[in-house]
Structure 1
Amino acid sequence: MKDLFYRLIIFLNTASEKDTNYNIALFMANNFYRISTMRISELADACYVSPATISRFCRALGYENFAHLKQECMSFHADTKKFNNLINIPLKMMKQTPTLATDAYVKQVVKTLLQLPATLDWKVIDQVLRLIHDTKEIALFGTQFSNSAAIHFQTDLLMLEKFSLAYMDGERQLECAKKMSSDGLAIIFSVNGNYAIGNFKTLQYLRRSGCTTVLITCASSDCMHIPIDYTINIGHPEDGKTGKHALLTTVELMSLRYYTMYYPSLDDLQEKLVNRK
């Protein structure tokens, strides 16, 4: 369900205010609790668009149609524990003793990070870094926090003179997957393995392309339901709610490792500049 809010935020943060989809996303964000009881014609009238435009927007969000989106909105309203899964901290503790809740959560994060040295397989990571260095066509995939980690990694790689693609919204990720060649490298960031939910088509296009696939996750390697060539395990399934900290730490370690292995020395950079003249 959180994916819907994430995708709405992406539209609002990246689309032009003149874009029809921006106006639909804006209305939904400000009137979310009304959507589950609205007919498609009512929503279309409220956004000054046609029902067909609403249907296309729903598909852009990853839903089959308006009825599918509406059903998920209904289930969200019916879930009285919708915020209980944010972190493993009792709500009563957070409400009454936030300092104690902070201590409990920090201990969970520290436990996950302390397990990381024994969890990370640097032989696999070095193979992936070699692929990143040697491959021209690289695309990073993820949703929510995992996508943020992917963009963080993309930025680090660019600073190290390695270009890659990492789109925020699902539609552009899908189009990217459609264009992948067998020589490409796709890296999927998914702490809990949930990327497969709502991104089935993207994964199928990656499979059909024949590109090399890498998965960075706390989940099992088969959670994507497509063949995965390399899996970088960052924790255990039970670490799902603290796994995002392990993911960010792993990404930063991978960036530093790439720097030590492949980034040219100052002398090499100066020689490259001389040769370009």
Structure 2
Amino acid sequence: MFDIFDFLTYLNTHGKDTTYSKIIIFLLTRTEEIPALTISEIADRCFVSPATLTRFGRHFHFASFADLRDALQQLNSLTPYSGLRMNEKDFQLLQKDPKAYLTSYSEEITASIQDVLGTIDIEEIDQLLHRIHTASEVVLIGYSATLELAKEVQTSFLSSRKILYIGETEQLQKDLIEHLDEQALIIVISSYGTLLTKNPALIRTISQSSADSIFITQNTKNTLTNQFTQTIRVTKENYVQIGSYPLTFFFDYFTRRYVSLYD
């Protein structure tokens, strides 16, 4: 399944002057032109060969460049606000009355934080922190916004001399997981469970690992959570518009609590 984040991750980790980065920049900035261009015409615009474009598509798991073109066309059909977790009603409110929209947005954030306060079990969290403290290794898995959140958690734990490991690519994640023993721990962070459906191969690798796995999420009905040793939901309700605010608030407490127990 195509995800624009895959392109951005490549761009952010390889720089803008590599061959594939130049192709990505062209494709993302000329999406309206792509449907009318042949693979040879796109190759000419990117100063590469058609064969390079084919290899590019396969690198990002497309069976053919035609499949990549179709995915980009679907991306082009999305509204500008759809990637911002907004519906048309919210978007119109923001256009007409920004103050009212901001008030509504802040109220949802406040409600989500109160939900976290009423949902999390302090004793359960302390038990997990103890498992992290005694684990031979701990691997954090995140995607997009939760990958960045995992990095913040990694940095915070380092202040207590506890190193948590993060793979920023799918292959690095698999390599880390495959070398874990039964004393290790895998913590998967996902706001809405998107990671479970986006990368089933990674989830299979986690479920087959000797290490225990903990899935930490906002409220989700995803049935694939049964692939994990334990699932911790930090809210009872879903808060689509505000993204990962509840998880960010939760992990802020989570890391501070660890320091208070084990520093």
TM norm. shorter chain > 0.5? yes
Q: Is the 8 A contact 1:195 1:224 kept in 2?
A: no
2-side partners of 1:183 and 1:60: how far apart? 34
Q: Does 1:159 align with 2:159?
A: yes
* Equivalent residue, structure 1, for 2:7: 8
2-side partners of 1:175 and 1:25: how far apart? 26
1-side partners of 2:40 and 2:178: how far apart? 33
The more displaced of 105-114 and 27-36 is 27-36
Q: Does 1:195 align with 2:195?
A: yes
1-side partners of 2:197 and 2:148: how far apart? 18
Q: Does 1:73 align with 2:52?
A: no
Q: RMSD in angstroms over aligned alpha carbons? A: 2.8
- For residues 143-171 of structure 1, the C-alpha deviation after alignment (integer angstroms, 9 at most, x for no partner) is 12111111111111122211122233444
For residues 84-163 of structure 1, the aligned pairs below 5 Å read 86-87=85-86, 90-163=90-163
Distance 1:179 1:153, change over 3 A: same
* Equivalent residue, structure 2, for 1:61: 60
Q: Is the 8 A contact 2:112 2:235 kept in 1?
A: yes
The amino acid across from 1:131 in the alignment is R
Distance 1:40 1:214, change over 3 A: farther
1-side partners of 2:26 and 2:172: how far apart? 22
2-side partners of 1:219 and 1:209: how far apart? 25
1-side partners of 2:245 and 2:145: how far apart? 10
Q: Is the 8 A contact 1:121 1:232 kept in 2?
A: no
Q: Is the 8 A contact 2:213 2:230 kept in 1?
A: yes
What SS is found at the alignment partner of 1:90? Answer: helix
* Structure 2 gaps, min length 5: none
For residues 194-273 of structure 1, the aligned pairs below 5 Å read 194-220=194-220, 222-224=222-224, 227-236=227-236, 238-263=238-263
Q: Is the 8 A contact 1:23 1:47 kept in 2?
A: yes
What SS is found at the alignment partner of 2:187? Answer: strand
TM-score, normalization by structure 2? 0.85
- For residues 89-121 of structure 1, the C-alpha deviation after alignment (integer angstroms, 9 at most, x for no partner) is 621110011111101110111111111111112
2-side partners of 1:103 and 1:112: how far apart? 14
* Equivalent residue, structure 2, for 1:19: 18
1-side partners of 2:224 and 2:150: how far apart? 17
Aligned length: 262
What SS is found at the alignment partner of 1:186? Answer: strand
**How many Å apart are 1:226 and its aligned residue?**
5.6
2-side partners of 1:31 and 1:145: how far apart? 25
The more displaced of 67-76 and 47-56 is 47-56
Residue identity (%): 23
**How many Å apart are 1:8 and its aligned residue?**
2.0
- For residues 24-79 of structure 1, the C-alpha deviation after alignment (integer angstroms, 9 at most, x for no partner) is 22222332333344444443443334445434433443545433333222222334
The amino acid across from 1:54 in the alignment is L
Q: Is the 8 A contact 2:85 2:242 kept in 1?
A: no
The amino acid across from 2:29 in the alignment is N
The amino acid across from 1:110 in the alignment is T
The amino acid across from 1:6 in the alignment is F
- For residues 180-235 of structure 1, the C-alpha deviation after alignment (integer angstroms, 9 at most, x for no partner) is 44443221111111012321111111122232111111244754466211212111
